[in-house]
């Protein structure tokens, strides 16, 4: 037994010395794409697709923009043959789409394959045989010369049959000769075979090229090796300008996409693969990932994945396979961040980008995409931004704040309130161990700040109605009178100060024995002429300064800015009182306030860009129960 079992594997052989140029290149245009979902993908399924399902899939491929589609292995069965005939005879194939069929190098199977597609506008005959030493030795028991002879005979037969079919029906035929196991074949032998094919075919021209499909049938080496093999082939094959070099990678080492991308740098003109990587073993190279990788580099792939979830649905239902949540571009979780620092960066990125795009719209500059952690705009693939940020115990303040700003409440919490509410969110996530959905987040917000209808949201104090009016001739002071429900009992309270908030705090001090100062306040203008006010109250105590004592945030919303502020005060007070005993009502003089409110009495807003207060406003009396 080997002491190191890895020693039983042979490393890939070197490519003969040549000057490689691919590492310094870039992909600047889309290759010709061929989907082999209906052939290489289909032959790998537990239950191959019925012809009705294949037809649905074919239509989806056409809708995605494929101009070359491998539709069958016609010699495999009558069903496969009939599928080709149905496509040809029912006019399913758009004029600009070529169908491809595959055949081994066996005369009777070649005949059947050509017959299957005769009558189509453009058909590609995909002739294949495995050419690596292992296959020559084990499967075919052929020498290199016998292998070359088999290929040449088969090519000549394809030429003869297609010439006759073209003469009778006008079908244009293209030869695609595939060296199965190319990547494990001696590079010089691969070039020899290709040159013999060119000679046997005879009339390859730049206008009518022969395709050489260079298959990494089983991915056995790193992607740079495939690129070297491809570039060596491109540099040495005859009539390069009459040849299309096609890449056909599998994903056994998990690097099918990388191999194809490097293969394109190395000279590949065409790519064969399957949507979402279906195919033998670990699959064919995934055409969605390849195309969208290209797209995210500013190169149009000339394939349409603008409704990617629809494509995923079709592939899943046709193949019976499911796309994993983490799958590039197409997975359910690809455009969702749970981690706090990611969410923070995404939120900042989206905000900054919005401003940049607004500026670009004015200056005519390019509106490029640059959002941390999100390499492509999800909307380009038909997704919304709704799931970009999702809340779990791994999230931070920015995540919850972002969700609230995107919610029906559309609230932009002040920074220190974000931190305060984040503590509540984190405790809830820790307790449940689960994601906090948008609905649960809103419910948590409402119960924390006693907003909205319903017992679960009500606080112990409720502002039923209030009046606010100037209390001196110079408009520098005001009085607030209010009907305050305390534990279900109405108390008439009133207070006086230089702002409505301070006057309400004065009233609370005098009537309910609650002493607070304002640490922060902000106003946000909402849609439909409403305002949200955010107020942080701190306990007034002889022992601590306002800055050092404990604080409570509150939020209030109203069409009236003063009402929003007073509600925010009561919301914060509700947060502070908990189950603390409150003093019984005092008998007070019930004032009747009839004067107008003058907004100039209010303190200047700390919220940047806050709206001006309404001028003058009569007898503000609003039900305290919020409308949301
Ligand atoms: C890498 C790829 O994906 S290639 C495509 C593979 N796809 C398929 O095989 C699906 C469809 N295949 C089929 O329906 C059948 O295999 C058929 C109809 C093509 C042939 O069936 P059979 O005649 O029963 O042959 P079988 O399936 O056992 O294939 C093995 C024979 O084919 C030969 N063979 C394999 N590949 C090729 C080829 N490309 N060219 C010529 N002969 C080949 C083998 O050497 C072997 O011949 P032998 O029996 O003389 O040793
Ligand atoms: C025959 C070729 C095209 C193939 O499917 C492969 O090598 O994987």
Q: What residue has token string 């948008």?
A: 438
For ligand 2, which residues put their CB under 6 angstroms from it? 40, 128, 178, 180, 213, 215, 217, 248, 250
How many Å apart are CA 330 and CA 307, to the nearest integer? 10
Per the domain annotation, does 623 fall within a domain? no
User: In this model, does residue 188 exceed pLDDT 50?
Assistant: yes
Pairing of strands 489-497, 478-486: antiparallel
Does position 605 have pLDDT exceeding 70, yes or no?
no
Averaged pLDDT, 135-139: 98
Instruction: Look at residue 596 in the predicted model and tell me its pLDDT.
Output: 35
Share of the chain above pLDDT 70, in %: 92
Q: Which residue among 449, 482, 508 closes a domain?
A: 449
Residues 135 and 201 in one domain: yes
Instruction: Please indicate, yes or no, whether residues 475 and 444 belong to a single structural domain of this protein.
Output: no
How many angstroms does the Cα of residue 25 sit away from the middle of ligand 2? 27
Residues 45 and 67 occupy one common structural domain: yes
pLDDT at residue 396, as a whole number: 94
d(CA 436, CA 429): 7
Verify that 600 and 551 share a domain, yes or no.
Answer: yes
**Which of 140, 147, 155, 179 is the pocket-test mutation for ligand 1 (most atoms within 8 Å of CB)?**
140
**Number of folded domains that form the chain:** 3
The span from the CA of 527 to the CA of 408, in Å, is 11
Q: What is the pLDDT confidence band of residue 455, given thresholds at 50, 70 and 90? A: low
Closest by alpha carbon to 442, among 413, 407, 414?
407
Helix orientation angle between 51-64 and 308-319, rounded to the nearest 10 degrees: 160
Answer yes or no: are the C-beta atoms of 320 and 278 closer than 8 Å. no
CB 225 within 8 A of CB 183: yes
Give the global pTM.
Answer: 0.89
How far does residue 106's CA lie from ligand 1's centre (Å)? Answer: 9
Considering the domain boundaries, does residue 384 fall inside one? yes
Among 43, 102, 11, 13, smallest CA distance to 250 is for 43
**Buried (b) or exposed (e) across 420-430, using 16+ Cβ within 10 A?**
bbbeebbebbe
Ligand 2 centroid to 400 CA: how many Å?
A: 50
Is ligand 1 within 6 A of the CB of residue 75? yes
What does the CA dihedral 258, 262, 268, 271 come to, rounded to 10 degrees?
10
Return the best residue to mutate from 213, 271, 273 for the ligand 2 pocket (most ligand atoms within 8 A of CB): 213
Average pLDDT, the chain: 92
CA of 272 from ligand 2 middle (Å) equals 9
* Residue 436, beta-bridge partner list: 391
> What's the CA gap between 319 and 312, in Å, rounded?
11
> Which uninterrupted H or E stretch holds 485?
strand 478-486
- Residue 37 sits in the same domain as residue 104: yes
Q: What does the H/E/C string look like for 299-324?
A: CCCCCCCCCHHHHHHHHHHHHCCCCC
Count CB-CB contacts under 10 A for residue 456: 10
Q: How far apart are the first and last CA of the chain?
A: 74
Check residue 528 and give its pLDDT: 84
Ligand 1 and 217: CB distance under 6 A: yes
Does residue 485 lie within any of the structural domains?
yes
Q: Identify the weakest region by mean pLDDT among 51-65, 169-183, 218-232, 588-602.
A: 588-602
**b/e code 368-403 from CB counts within 10 Å (16+ = b):** eeebbebebebeebebebeebbbbbbbbbbbbbbbb
Which tokens go with 232? 């060596």
Backbone angles phi, psi at 470, to 5 degrees: -70, 140
Q: Domain limits at 235?
A: 20-319
Q: Which atom of ligand 2 is nearest to the CA of 126?
A: 3
Instruction: Tell me how far the alpha carbon of residue 139 lies from the centroid of ligand 1, in angstroms.
Output: 10
Q: Which two tokens stand for residue 619?
A: 């007898």
Q: Model confidence at 232, in pLDDT bands (50, 70, 90)?
A: very high
- The percent of residues above 90 in pLDDT, for the chain, comes to 87
Q: Ligand 2 pocket: which of 70, 101, 126, 128 to mutate (most atoms <8 Å of CB)?
A: 128
Give the largest Cα separation in the chain, rounded.
114
**ipTM surpassing 0.90, yes or no?**
yes
Residues 436 and 301 in one domain: no
Cα-to-centroid distance, 580 and ligand 1 (Å): 84
Closest ligand 2 atom, residue 213 Cα: 3
Residue identifier of the C-alpha nearest atom 5 of ligand 2: 40
Q: Which residue has the tokens 């300008």?
A: 241
Looking at residue 618, its pLDDT comes to 32
- Ligand 1 center from residue 129 Cα (angstroms): 9
Centre of ligand 2 from the C-alpha of residue 198, in Å: 20
What size, in residues, is the chain?
628
Dist CA 343 CA 300 (whole Å) = 29
583: phi then psi, degrees, rounded to nearest 5: -65, 150
Distance 177 CA to ligand 1 centre (A): 16
- C-alpha to C-alpha distances, 514 to 538, 581, 583, 585, nearest whole angstrom: 11, 11, 9, 13
| 565 neighbors 605 (Cβ within 8 angstroms) | no
300, part of any domain: yes
Give the alpha-carbon dihedral of 539, 545, 550, 556, to 10 degrees.
60
Residue 458 confidence (pLDDT): 78
Measured from the Cα of 280, ligand 2's closest atom is 8
- Closest ligand (CA of 124): 2
Angle at 447 between CA 387 and CA 340, to 5 degrees: 35
CA nearest ligand 1 atom 8, residue: 43
Mean pLDDT of 71-83: 98
Cα 540 to middle of ligand 2, angstroms = 79
Establish whether residue 40 lines the binding site of ligand 1, counting it when its CB lies within 6 angstroms of any ligand atom: yes
Say if residues 247 and 270 touch (Cβ distance below 8 Å): yes
Instruction: Measure the CA–CA gap between 76 and 85, rounded to whole angstroms.
Output: 14
Structure tokens at 166: 């073209």
Report the SS3 class of residue 55. Answer: helix
- For residue 623, give the 3-state DSSP assignment: coil
3-state helix, strand, coil in the chain (%, to 5): 40, 20, 40
What atom in ligand 2 is closest to the CA of residue 178? 3
Same domain, 34 and 176: yes
Q: Which residue has the tokens 């949200």?
A: 532
Q: Are residues 369 and 485 in the same domain?
A: no
Asked if the structure places residue 624 within a domain, the reply is: no
| Domain termination site, one of 319, 351, 376 | 319
d(CA 213, CA 160): 21
Q: How far apart are CA 500 and CA 508, in angstroms?
A: 12
Q: What CATH number corresponds to the domain at position 164?
A: 3.20.20.70
Within-domain flag for 331: no
One domain for residues 52 and 120: yes
Q: Give me ligand 2 centre to Cα 126, in Å.
A: 10
What is the 8-class DSSP label of residue 13? P
Give me the CATH number covering residue 563. 3.30.160.270
Contacts of 595 (CB under 8 A, 6+ apart): 469, 470
The Cα angle at residue 307 between residues 305 and 309, in degrees rounded to 5: 105
pLDDT one-digit tens code per residue, 313-364: 999 999 999 999 999 999 999 999 999 999 999 999 999 999 999 999 999 9
Check whether residue 246 and residue 115 sit in a common domain: yes
Give a yes or no: residue 456 inside a domain.
no
Q: Are residues 30 and 52 in the same domain?
A: yes
For residue 604, the model assigns a pLDDT of 34
| Mutation choice for ligand 1 from 36, 104, 213, CB with most ligand atoms inside 8 A | 104
Question: Domain check: are 378 and 470 in the same one?
Answer: no
Give the number of whichever ligand sits closest to the CA of residue 108.
1
Phi, psi at 365, each rounded to 5°: -70, 170
Q: Quick one: pLDDT band at residue 626, thresholds 50, 70, 90?
A: very low
Note the ligand closest to the C-alpha atom of 214.
Answer: 2
Using the 3D structure, point to which of 415, 449, 483 is the last residue of a domain.
Answer: 449
Model confidence at 546: pLDDT above 90 = no
Q: CA nearest 412: which of 559, 613, 609?
A: 609
For residue 181, the ligand 2 atom closest to its alpha carbon is 7
Main-chain phi, psi angles of 197, to 5 degrees: -65, -45
HEC per residue, 510-540: HHHCCCEEEEEEEEEEECCCEEEEEEEEEEC
Atom of ligand 2 nearest to the CA of 215: 7
Strands (E), 418-477: 461-470
Residue 182 near ligand 1, beta carbon < 6 Å? no
Structure tokens at 144: 């290199």
């Amino acid at each position: 037994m080997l002491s190191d079992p890895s020693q039983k594997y042979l490393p890939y052989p070197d490519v003969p010395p040549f000057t490689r140029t691919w590492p310094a290149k870039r992909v600047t245009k889309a290759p010709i794409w061929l989907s082999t979902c209906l052939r290489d993908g289909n032959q790998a399924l537990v239950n191959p697709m019925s012809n009705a399902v294949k037809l649905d899939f074919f239509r989806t491929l056409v809708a995605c923009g494929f101009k070359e589609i491998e539709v069958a292995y016609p010699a495999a069965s009558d069903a496969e043959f009939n599928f080709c005939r149905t496509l040809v005879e029912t006019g399913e194939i758009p004029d600009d789409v070529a169908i491809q069929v595959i055949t081994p190098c066996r005369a009777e199977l070649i005949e059947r394959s050509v017959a299957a597609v005769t009558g189509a506008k453009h058909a590609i005959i995909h002739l294949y045989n495995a050419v690596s030493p292992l296959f020559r030795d084990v499967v075919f028991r052929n020498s290199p010369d016998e292998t070359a002879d088999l290929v040449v005979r088969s090519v000549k037969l394809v030429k003869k049959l297609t010439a006759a079919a073209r003469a009778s029906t006008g079908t244009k035929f293209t030869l695609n000769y595939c060296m199965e196991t190319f990547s494990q074949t001696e590079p010089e032998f691969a070039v020899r075979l290709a040159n013999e094919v060119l000679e046997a075919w005879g009339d390859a021209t730049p206008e009518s090229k022969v395709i050489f499909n260079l298959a990494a049938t089983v991915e056995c080496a790193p992607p740079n090796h495939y690129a070297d093999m491809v570039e060596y082939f491109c540099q040495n094959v005859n009539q390069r300008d009459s040849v299309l070099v096609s890449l056909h990678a599998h994903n056994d080492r998990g690097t099918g996409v990388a191999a194809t991308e490097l293969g394109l740098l190395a000279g590949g003109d065409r790519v064969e693969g399957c949507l979402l990587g279906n195919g033998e073993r670990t699959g064919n190279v995934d055409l969605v990932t390849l195309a969208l990788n290209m797209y995210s580099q500013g190169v149009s792939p000339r394939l349409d994945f603008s409704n990617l979830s629809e494509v995923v649905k079709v592939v899943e239902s046709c193949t019976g396979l499911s796309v994993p949540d983490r799958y590039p571009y197409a997975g359910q979780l690809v455009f969702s961040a749970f981690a706090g620092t990611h969410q923070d960066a995404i939120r900042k990125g989206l905000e900054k980008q919005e401003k940049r795009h607004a500026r670009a719209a004015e200056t005519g500059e390019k509106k490029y995409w640059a959002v941390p952690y999100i390499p492509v705009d999800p909307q380009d693939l038909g997704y919304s931004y709704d799931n970009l940020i999702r809340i779990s115990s791994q999230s931070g303040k920015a995540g919850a704040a972002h969700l609230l700003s995107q919610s029906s409440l559309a609230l932009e919490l002040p920074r220190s309130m974000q931190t305060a509410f984040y503590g509540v969110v984190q405790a809830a996530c820790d307790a449940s161990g689960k994601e906090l959905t948008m609905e649960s987040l809103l419910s948590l917000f409402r119960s924390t700040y006693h907003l909205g209808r319903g017992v679960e949201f009500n606080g112990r104090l409720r502002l039923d109605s209030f009046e606010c009016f100037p209390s001196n001739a110079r408009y520098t002071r005001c009085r607030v009178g209010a009907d305050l429900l305390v534990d279900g009992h109405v108390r008439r309270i009133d207070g006086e100060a230089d702002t409505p908030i301070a006057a309400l705090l004065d009233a609370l001090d005098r009537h309910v024995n609650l002493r607070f100062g304002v640490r922060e306040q902000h106003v946000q203008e909402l849609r439909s002429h409403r305002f949200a006010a955010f107020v942080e109250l701190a306990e007034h105590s002889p022992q601590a300064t306002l800055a050092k004592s404990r604080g409570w945030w509150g939020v209030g919303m109203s069409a009236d800015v003063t009402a929003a502020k007073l509600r925010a005060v009561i919301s914060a007070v509700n947060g502070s009182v908990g189950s603390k005993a409150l003093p019984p009502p005092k008998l007070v003089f019930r004032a009747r306030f009839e004067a107008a409110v003058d907004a100039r009495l209010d303190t200047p807003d700390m919220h940047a860009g806050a709206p001006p207060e309404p001028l003058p406003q009569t007898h503000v009396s609003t039900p305290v129960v919020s409308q949301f």
